[in-house]
Amino acid sequence: MNTILSHECTCRPEPLISPFGFKGGTLTELWQVVCRLWDSEGHHGIGLGVQSVLWSDSAVFARLGQEQGNQLMLSMTRHALLLLEGRPLSRPDLMLHDLIPALWEYGRRKSGLKNLRLTFVLNALTPVDWALWQLYAKACGCLQLTRLAAPITSALSCRQPLLGGIPLISYGTSPEEILRLAGEGAFLYKIKIGSAPEGPHQLDAMLEWDCRRLLDIHKLVSGRATPHTHCGHPMYYLDANGRYDSPERVERLLDFASRQGFLDRILLLEEPFAEDNLQNVRHLPIPVVGDESAHSADDARRLIEEYGYSAMALKPVAKTLSVTLEVLEVARQRRIPCFCADLTVNPAMTEYNKALAARLPLLPGLKCGVMESNGAQNYLAWDRMLSEDPAAGESWALPAKGLYRLNHDFFQNDGGIWRDVLSP
């Protein structure tokens, strides 16, 4: 029987151009992880990961800080690799579910946090899961994502020739940067809301800041035309990261947008409420997206059926490909649209997202596919990281005028995700 024999794990911190603010905190670097697995038949699999402690569990970030939080997550990744040694190689999603309970308990002990979020565990497991998928693909002799994913979901049936890159507008993104992105053809902007100018618990001040911020951005880009939205103008995707406390406060934000004339430009609202304070959102006038709170297929099902969420942000770069495919199938069965969101990942991991995003149906309101991609905005050494991408030089690797153009070679090769990468 084919078994997993050995592993290797390396990590490199990558500094950001400027502090990256969200959830009321800031990051200055992101750790890039590479995992390698070898099996008894001589095959090997390589998986990449980007650690985002603040995104995956803000309580860990508050307790341990950036450095120690990253050390914790890296220790969990390495522990997962150790747990795999000697196990028979089987379908990666099944192996992942066997790992999660033991790794979750390990993380609780190491962190001292009994309520460690599952998203933190999945973030630690992402490079392990991708290494398992690559190893499994090679062992099966099948390097085709749709065929490998078929036992889990039948949702990857589209072939979008164009993917618009969704840039990120964080708390500190300058007007000059926003105008530069607009000039490059951006037509859907992900805007971080939920800033804490007077502290994390001053929610009236947060709402006031968010209203001003949205209006300022709208004034900058609203007059531009685009062929890629049904309204003919740029649209907005708001990400609250669980910072709002009640539907009433969200309604006040949306009422402001309505009075200022841009409510119809808001395509999506992501994660308005923390997962321990979920609220029914069926009455809100825009689609509400599940992200961090959708740790699993069961979570996605509950968000849709009990709380009225009407879209899902997929994160194969943050919550594992295995869990992402399961969430996607739940959404497909309920005709819930999905899209791929970023975690400020490196260029090679951008191809992970692209391989899925290109096979999803269009979001209502848009005329082409989309995928969040903000690494170029945030990494100090982005140009050097581009040279490390196995897809470097391919026509689909870089956007032109805000669009990734995907051809037959892209779909035949899944964007190069099965190729080896030798550095973080």
Which domains does the chain carry?
4-142 (3.30.390.10), 162-416 (3.20.20.120)
pLDDT at 170 over 70: yes
Note the pLDDT of residue 424: 45
Query: Please, are residues 262 and 213 in contact by the beta-carbon 8 Å criterion?
Result: no
Residue with tokens 């970030």, as numbered in its chain: 61
For CA atoms 16, 186, 356, 264, give the dihedral sign: positive
Query: Please, are residues 355 and 417 in contact by the beta-carbon 8 Å criterion?
Result: yes
What's the distance, CA 76 to chain centroid?
20
Note the pLDDT of residue 422: 55
Name the pTM for this structure.
Answer: 0.94
pLDDT at 125 over 60: yes
pLDDT at 416 over 50: yes
Strand order in the sheet with 369-372: 168-169, 188-192, 235-239, 266-270, 288-290, 311-314, 338-340, 369-372, 162-166, 403-405
Q: What is the arithmetic mean of pLDDT over 327-337?
A: 97
Residue type at 58 in one-letter notation = S
pLDDT at 404 over 90: yes
pLDDT tens figures, 86-120:
999 999 999 999 999 999 999 999 999 999 999 99
pLDDT at 143 over 60: yes
| Residue 153 DSSP class | -
Q: Which is nearest to 337 in space by CA: 350, 346, 328, 345?
A: 328
Q: What is the arithmetic mean of pLDDT over 376-384?
A: 94
First to last CA, the chain: 31
Average pLDDT for the chain = 94
Q: How many CA atoms lie within 13 A of 331 on its CB side?
A: 27
**CA-to-CA distance for 350 and 373, rounded, in angstroms?**
7
- Window from 195-204, 256-265, 293-302, 347-356 with minimum mean pLDDT: 195-204
pLDDT confidence bin for 20, thresholds 50/70/90: confident
What Cα–Cα distance (Å) separates residue 35 from each residue in 46, 64, 335? 6, 24, 35
**CA-to-CA distance for 274 and 156, rounded, in angstroms?**
30
**CA-to-CA distance for 243 and 193, rounded, in angstroms?**
8
pLDDT at 197 over 90: no
Q: Which two tokens stand for residue 249?
A: 């406060």
Note the pLDDT of residue 1: 65
Q: What is the arithmetic mean of pLDDT over 302-306?
A: 97
pLDDT at 199 over 90: no
